[in-house]
Chain A
Amino acid sequence: MSTPAASGRVRAGTRAVRLASASWRLHPRAVAVTITGLVLLALLMALNMRIGDIQLSLADVLAAITGEGPTHFVVMELRLPRALTGALVGAALGLSGAITQAIARNPLASPDVLGVTTGASVTVVAVLVANGAMYGGASGALAGLGVPATALLGGLAGALIVYAFAWRRGLDGYRLVLVGIGVTAVFTNVKYWLLTVGDVEDAGKAMTWISGSLNGRGWEHVTPVALALAVLVPATLFGTRSLGALRFGDDTVTGLGVRMNLARALMLLAAVLLAAVATAAAGPIAFVALAAPQIALRLAGTSHPPLLVSAVAGAVLANAADLVARTLFAPVELPVGVVTAVLGAPYLVYLLIRVRREARS
């Protein structure tokens, strides 16, 4: 029985890192992609922070962050929070998407299927329309703190409904996706019905929100997403190993000693919370959660989307899309969700074709 001594002989592209009784497997390419992604993210955020009523150069932005003066306030209080919200929301969506795709065992799954985003949309539209009819326009409090809280509750409620219908003596990936698509369709139709019966002005406001926008996002949007990520990123990384096992068939998962339904439920809860918090902050930004894990997978060259790389890819994607949204028809700004939807649609078609081709071969 030969035992190759050199580490990495058995697994291409990985290095063993061992310290006393602790040991990890490091994927150098994934590390490189993560670092490159973070540099790219910083650059995109700086480019985004140039744009506004006062156009700044990149040097101005850097000077404003470190120095004093009027531009310091503009950059630190208005532009940085917007760019940060984009980065954090993108990261949360990327992470949520990676988890969802692993549990559904399907690269076409995203947290949209979990009922979070449509649940949030339909609730926000309902509240906006109902308030408009009753009080003649959404109040400032509702627009600021009210909408995120409403979206969070609506998103969690939507996920709970999907989960309740999908659970049958355990959780099955296929069943979850099918139930999710059904519930999402119902929510979407209720949403459109509400938009048609609502006041035109309220419907307009609601439409901006349900496209997903980073416009006017401040520190009050950054803080909740940052707190959620601070808790959920370590929690999900802790669960990476179980998630890796959950990609296999049910009998294999149990055979490996994983408490399957518990592990699935906990990871799904994390995915739901991440998507709900992201949607509460910026509205439902389409396709980031779907695309980020698949981009991360291809760049890192791993067998499945690595969680951390997916989060970084999501952050980069959201900021890049926001940059396009703000510069394409400048000075008119598009909601970021419109750009991600336009970019995402052909990508989804590509994925569908690829998956079908693989299924046939």
Chain B
Amino acid sequence: MRLQASGVRLGYGDRIIVDGLDLGIEAGTVTTIIGPNGCGKSTLLRALGRLLKPAGGEVLLDGKRIDRIPTREVAKILGVLPQAPVAPEGLTVADLVARGRHPHQTWYRQWSSDDESAVSEALSMTGLLDLADRPLDELSGGQRQRAWISMALAQGTELLLLDEPTTFLDLAHQVEVLELVRRLHAEAGRTIVMVLHDLNLAARYADRLVAMRAGRVVAAGTPHEVLTEALLRDVFDLDAKIISDPVAGTPLVVPIGIRPSP
């Protein structure tokens, strides 16, 4: 297990959202967390990325408690893309992506050739080389999201945690981002954990799905094991038919209607 949550209790102040949750992330897998709004998906992801300190239980990175590893060392192994990231105004794409090199730099080594090649590699993987000098505020939502992903890539971590990387994107751009994730996994062998809303895309691009409801893991396994008509009823209160995706062969959700809550 590269990353493991055991018995974590998570919340903000007195409001506990997740209580006693266990989850392990194996090396070299793409794991996608699904579930209705407010079920604790993002909260769990933030705890896995040590952005939120558990009120109980522990998060282990390579077997060691993540809060006991210096945060800078964690940043060399694990990169996080938060849900609605905030950048200072006037920043260019290249400035943003270069910031991803932060954990690798010191006061006397601020712009090594490694930094430079990591940044240009990240920009070319996301197709942003030509936009490098453009201010972030002038980009479209899709371009901006790709710029943030480039920053996480430039960080050069084996583990990537992406919180809804496809929000604000149209379908073509969603597919583009997820194809990029697949390439990162296939070519660079990175371990990726994401939160996604689109179940069909989640099924197509993940090795492993984790379905959550009300702070608990309801089901975890391959998309075929997890995405069943019964699970959609339990987790989303949704009546749906599952057919086979004619392109990828993965489960495809066709909604029928909302089940009245019992």
Other contacts beyond A23-B115, A304-B90: 4, CB < 8 A: A10-B94, A256-B155, A257-B74, A303-B91
Report A246-270 CB contacts with B as 1/0, cut-off 8 Å. 0111111011111100000000000
Q: A12-B133, A23-B110, A252-B86 are known contacts. Are A1 and B79 too (CB-CB below 8 A)?
A: no
Q: Which residues of A contact B121 (CB under 8 A)?
A: 1, 3
Return chain B residues, CB-CB under 8 Å to A4. 120, 129
Q: Which residues of A contact B (CB under 8 A)?
A: 1-4, 7, 9-12, 14, 16-18, 21-25, 105, 238, 241, 244-245, 247-252, 254-259, 303-304, 358
Residue of A nearest to B100 (CB): A256
Determine the chain A residues whose CB is within 8 A of the CB of B80 once the complex forms. 251-252, 254-255
CB distance from B51 to the nearest CB of A (A): 5
Beta-carbon contact of A254 and B51 below 8 Å = yes
Question: Given that A2-B120, A10-B119 are known contacts, is A254 also in contact with B71, CB under 8 Å in the complex?
Answer: yes
Can you list 10 A-B contacts (CB < 8 A)? A3-B120, A11-B94, A12-B94, A23-B111, A249-B87, A251-B85, A252-B87, A254-B51, A254-B80, A255-B51
- Closest beta carbon of chain A to B191's beta carbon, Å: 16
Bound complex: CA A61 to CA B74 (Å): 59
Q: Is there an interface contact between A1 and B125, defined as CB atoms closer than 8 Å?
A: yes
Give Cα A249 to B124, complex, Å: 25
Contact of A3 among B46, B86, B117 (CB under 8 A): B117
B113 at the interface (CB under 8 A from A): yes
| Bound CA–CA A13/B162 (angstroms) | 31
Name the CB-closest residue of A to B119.
Answer: A10
How many angstroms between the C-alpha atoms of A254 and B47 in the bound complex?
12
Interface residues on B, range: 35 or more
B99 touches A244 (CB 8 A): yes
- Asked if residues B75 and A256 are in contact (CB atoms below 8 Å), the reply is yes
Residues A257 and B102 in contact, CB atoms below 8 Å apart: yes
Cα-based distance from A244 to B49 in the complex (angstroms): 21
Residue on A nearest B187 in the bound complex, by CB = A1
| Smallest CB gap from A3: residue in B | B117
User: What's the minimum C-beta distance from A216 to chain B, rounded to whole angstroms?
Assistant: 40
Inter-chain contacts of A25 with B (CB < 8 A): 110-111
Given known pairs A1-B125, A10-B123, A248-B87, the reply for A241 and B110 (CB within 8 Å) is yes
B88: Cβ under 8 A from any A Cβ: yes
Residues of B within 8 A of A250 (CB): 51
Q: Assuming A22-B109, A248-B87, A249-B85, is B51 touching A258 (CB within 8 A)? A: no
Known A-B contacts A16-B111, A105-B88; the reply to A10 vs B82 at CB < 8 A is no
State whether B88 touches A248 (Cβ < 8 A).
yes
Top 10 nearest A-B pairs (CB, nearest first) are A257-B75, A249-B86, A251-B82, A257-B72, A255-B80, A257-B103, A247-B88, A25-B111, A256-B102, A12-B133
A10 near B108: Cβ-Cβ < 8 Å: no
Contact A256 B85 (CB under 8 A): no
**Which of chain B's residues has its CB closest to A260's CB?**
B71
CA distance A16 to B109 in the complex (A): 11
* Residue B50 interfacial (CB < 8 Å): yes
Shortest beta-carbon distance, A340 to chain B, in Å?
Answer: 25
Question: Which residues of chain B come closer than 8 Å to A241, judged between CB atoms?
Answer: 102, 105, 107, 110
B92 at the interface (CB under 8 A from A): yes
In the complex, what distance in Å separates the CA atom of A20 from the CA atom of B94?
25
Chain B residues with Cβ below 8 Å from A24 are 108, 110-111
